[in-house]
Structure 1
């Protein structure tokens, strides 16, 4: 059996209803040569049950990697997912981000040696997040601004993120003041580059843990392509009870060291070099 071109790594933690909608999103992709690896940071059996029940209806291979719940350990389970990947190119997103049907195709089309790709997301309020059905995803209504406004979405410049006009996408990507960084909800890169960087720093918890990998890739000479208005996914709302100030402080210190010492590799990653 041939290897898929792309491995999609989805992080999740106790959000089976959101994960179900996200998997429906990947079932409707235009580009189909991919596998999905679910990086599960300690969810209860409900998530495993959902994945097993959906396997027969999904047109792609699903690998579920899991470890016991011991607080926010996303970086550790992401590294486990990287080890499970069969593809040479990895696309990272979250189990609460529904991809538009051209999402994987956009990443596939823009991949290039010496680069990683940086996309964004479009945040939805809770009521619309709950209202989205399988049919809404199949018909792509949840990416249509007119439909979303009919559900109560407020007018905003950010609604331009959902544009399907290629020229407008290119212009907005060019003018955006947002830097192209490694964003855990929408970034992709070559497995070889990620392995050279030794994956995610497993000391890091919530707050910039994804961007720190990108900062090491930058230090190694890679560049980033801005796909903020091109690679589109909608983010389903949820509370963030796991955020603690000490996590942010620790992560900021690690990122500062990465930047000041221009580190290209972590000693606390895929291949553990330090205890």
Structure 2
């Protein structure tokens, strides 16, 4: 298969349903989906079961016991279950536009990882996005979003569906080409070479930390935030711990300064 899509989730079955539905209508369907589940209840399992016959390959559900925020650990477990040499990472609250997968595959290149973004929605609009709205792709239409009460600003340009415009905006955007957990992809061999995600880290820049080690390994990054589009559904973040965020930042500073590539507490522990 061309691609393994690893989707992280935790007790967000309503949002996960919307996200998985978005993958059923992709213009490129030669991929597998792996749900990296950080300890959700059986409600999430039921959602995954409801989509078991909707894709070319079976959905893999990789689950671990709920012992707090352990996203890096479950992502490493999911990587080991993947059956492709190219991996796309995203979150269970990010609905992909129908050309999302195709754009990642089109842009992939040896020696690079791809850095995508998202268009964030408020809770009111997140809730009103129905199956029909996803299947018709109305949720990616600026006029539909405006009718739902969205206040338009410059960020709406991310939803302009024109490859020439997207290419130009990818080129001029000042946003750093970082590894973003909601929308990034790379070769499995590169991720294994740095021992995957750092399980020492809690929430707060843990995805970017892995990307920074990929840079230390000698990789470059391509900006695709205007090409590979996903909608970020709103949610609370009651798992944020300022002390742990600060600790993560110190680890990142150390790794950048010392050109660290391979960390100790990583994928080889599984």
Task: Name the TM tier (shorter chain).
Answer: over 0.9
1:200 correspondence with 2:197:
yes
User: How far is 1:59 from its partner?
Assistant: 4.3
Aligned: 1:126 with 2:111: no
Deviation at 1:32, TM superposition (A): 0.5
Correspondence for 1:210 among 181, 184, 207 = 207
Separation (CA, whole Å) in 2 of partners of 1:225 and 1:15: 30
Pick one of 179, 201, 226 that aligns with 1:229. Answer: 226
Corresponding residue for 1:7? 4
Match of 1:61 among 55, 58, 62: 58
The equivalent residue for 1:43 is 40
Query: Which aligned pairs between 1:4-153 and structure 2 lie closer than 5 A?
Result: 4-153=1-150
Number of residue pairs the alignment of both structures matches: 270
Cα drift, residue 246 of structure 1: 1.6
Following superposition of structure 1 onto structure 2, how do residues 260-271 of structure 1 map, counting pairs within 5 Å? 260-271=257-268
1:256 partner SS: helix
Residue 222 (structure 1) shift: 0.3
Is the CA contact 2:29–2:55 (under 8 Å) kept in the aligned structure 1? no
Give the whole-Å Cα distance in 2 for the aligned partners of 1:249 and 1:272.
25
Instruction: State how far apart, in whole Å, the 1-side matches of 2:199 and 2:102 are.
Output: 30
Q: Tell me the secondary structure at the aligned position of residue 184 of structure 2.
A: strand
Alignment root-mean-square deviation, CA:
1.1
CA positional deviation for 1:170: 1.3
Q: What is the distance in 2 between the residues matched to 1:200 and 1:77?
A: 9
Preserved CA contact (<8 Å) 1:197 1:264: yes
Distance 2:251 2:2 in 1: 33
What are the Cα deviations for residues 154-188 of structure 1, in whole angstroms up to 9, with x where unaligned? 11000001111222111111111100100000000
Show the 5 A alignment for 1:156-175.
156-175=153-172
Aligned-pair distance for 1:56?
2.7
> CA–CA distance in 1 between the matches of 2:117 and 2:34?
20
| CA deviation after TM superposition for structure 1 residue 268, in Å | 1.0
Q: Is the 8 A contact 1:27 1:59 kept in 2?
A: no
- State the distance in 2 between where 1:67 and 1:272 align: 15
For residues 103 and 172 of structure 1, the distance between their equivalents in structure 2, rounded to whole angstroms, comes to 17
1:41 and 1:69 in contact (8 A); partners too: yes
